[in-house]
Amino acid sequence: MNAPRQGLFASLLIVSFALQTVLLVIATTHQLQENRTNQGQLMTSQLVTDSLHEMEPANTVSLALLTNRYATNPSVASIRILSATNQVLSQSGMEQTRTGDVFTRDALQNDRKVGRVEITLIKPSLGEILRTEWLAIFASLILHALLWLAYRAIARPSRSEYLARLQHDASLHAKIQELTDALEQEKQASVLAVNEAQQPQPKQLTKPTFVPNEHSIALNIQFYDPKQLLSSVSQSVAVPYFNLCQLFLEKSIELCSAHYRIDSSLIEQLGTFDQNGITLSVDAKNPNVAECLIMIGNVFQVLSEVLYKRYREEKRFVLQTRCATANMVEDMQLDAVQAATRLAQSLSAKESALYLNATLLKKLSDHYKLINFPNPSNLLTRHAYIISGMSEAYVERVEAFRTDILKGKKPKQNTFK
């Protein structure tokens, strides 16, 4: 049980330590500057007083002894005594190569300039300042470390608080799940109500019941739009894009149905491509129908990815797609269309999934690599599979269909019985 937001508090302590160190260096630098100014003015004034009688006539020996005595001060870099004509009479200093603050004062005798005194005081570097203030910096570091340890000890929740938080999170998660399930049921009820309203009402009122059709298979293709771009794009851009997707789908149906020798009229398109995608439905007992629908989805996915890459390069509106194939889910009272639509909503971009009976799954597993959903949330996703790969022959077939569609080739005519 860690204290909350330890990383944020540690970042604040690091920033506080850095700011405190910078302010300490700035304050020390300012104090040293003032001390140098006062010291430089005092030393030049005193040196002028001591050397005034030795400048005229110039007594270089006495001036040398005088400058050497002043140069013993560790803060002095160099000292120079010059004549009125700027001739160096004496020069001394322990560190004459160092730079620093220069203080000068003219030596006046009876209001006449007889010479000049120059004293250079050493200006300490940043490293020297840090070495002189290491104790304060180290104490600040210890203080911040103690604050960090104190925060971890004080802010750490007790066991009862930790258990209460876990219980609160669990109850909140349960409430969210209940709201989600209620919303899903409301959506399903509204969809069923709309479908019943659109269908002609029977003359005799009957109790609505779920009538499963185990031979119905549906393919749902949706756009993957996590940023909700479809709601912001104009119709002048969206409609041509939908039309192109519709064209790709019809070409995929044409080629795949011809390959599997299935009458394309058996594949019913529930509407046309729009912002919700499209759904294909087939009511047939032929096992090739399931393979045909899955192949249609795979071919369309490949074409959609080609279109996505090309339009992205041209900075045009485009979205990736996802598709799902399913039959009815009797336990959830979902027909094939509803199951495929709901299953596709659980997928990400470029993913394909299927929910089929055991017979079809066994046949398809010879050609497709199927994996379980990583985090199933309901009965549908718990028994559904994601297509993660295809056999080499199927890959070549999909690529051949993609090439034929992009090149505009037509399938060979077949006679269906």
- The tens digit of pLDDT for each residue in 252-296 reads 999 999 998 888 888 889 888 899 999 999 876 666 888 899 999
SS3 labels along 323-351: EEEEECEHHHCECHHHHHHHHHCCCCCCC
Predicted confidence band of residue 222 (pLDDT cuts 50, 70, 90): very high
- The tens digit of pLDDT for each residue in 31-47 reads 988 988 998 899 999 98
**pLDDT: is 47 or 160 the higher one?**
47
Predicted confidence band of residue 2 (pLDDT cuts 50, 70, 90): low
State the alpha helices, DSSP H only, in 205-287: 235-259
**3-class DSSP state of 216:** strand
Q: What is the pLDDT of residue 233?
A: 87
- The tens digit of pLDDT for each residue in 183-216 reads 566 666 666 666 665 655 444 333 334 445 667 8
Biggest alpha carbon–alpha carbon distance for the chain = 138
Q: What is the pLDDT of residue 255?
A: 92
The pLDDT of residue 417 is above 50: no
Q: What is the pLDDT of residue 75?
A: 87
Tokens of 363: 């046949």
Radius of gyration of the chain (CA): 44
C-alpha 221/C-alpha 239 separation (Å) is: 17
**3-class DSSP state of 112:** coil
Identity at 413, one-letter amino acid code: Q
| Average pLDDT value over all residues in the chain | 83
Sequence-distant (6+) residues with CB within 8 A of 323 are 219, 220, 221, 222, 297, 300, 301, 344, 347, 352, 353
C-alpha 356/C-alpha 374 separation (Å) is: 18
Burial class of 127 by CB neighbour count within 10 A (0 to 12, 13 to 18, 19+): exposed
Percent of the chain with pLDDT over 90: 27
**What integer is the mean pLDDT of 129-141?**
89
User: Residue 401 gets which letter from DSSP?
Assistant: H
pTM over 0.85: no
How many other C-beta atoms are found inside a 10 Å radius of the C-beta of residue 217? 30
The pLDDT of residue 332 is above 60: yes
C-alpha 103/C-alpha 45 separation (Å) is: 10
Q: What is the pLDDT of residue 236?
A: 86
How many other C-beta atoms are found inside a 10 Å radius of the C-beta of residue 323? 30
User: Residue 201 gets which letter from DSSP?
Assistant: P
The pLDDT of residue 406 is above 50: yes
The pLDDT of residue 17 is above 60: yes
C-alpha 300/C-alpha 297 separation (Å) is: 5
Percent of the chain with pLDDT over 70: 84
The winner for highest mean pLDDT among 4-8, 188-192, 213-217, 300-304 is 300-304
Q: What is the pLDDT of residue 209?
A: 40
Angle, helices 392-407/288-313, rounded to nearest 10 degrees: 60
Closest CA to 337 of 212, 223, 222, 218: 218
**What integer is the mean pLDDT of 343-361?**
90
Residues forming a β-bridge with 281: 218, 268
Pairing of strands 320-327, 352-355: parallel
Q: What is the pLDDT of residue 414?
A: 52
State the alpha helices, DSSP H only, in 56-85: 60-71
Identify the residue whose tokens are 């009797």.
Answer: 330
Sequence-distant (6+) residues with CB within 8 A of 259 are 292, 295, 397, 401, 411
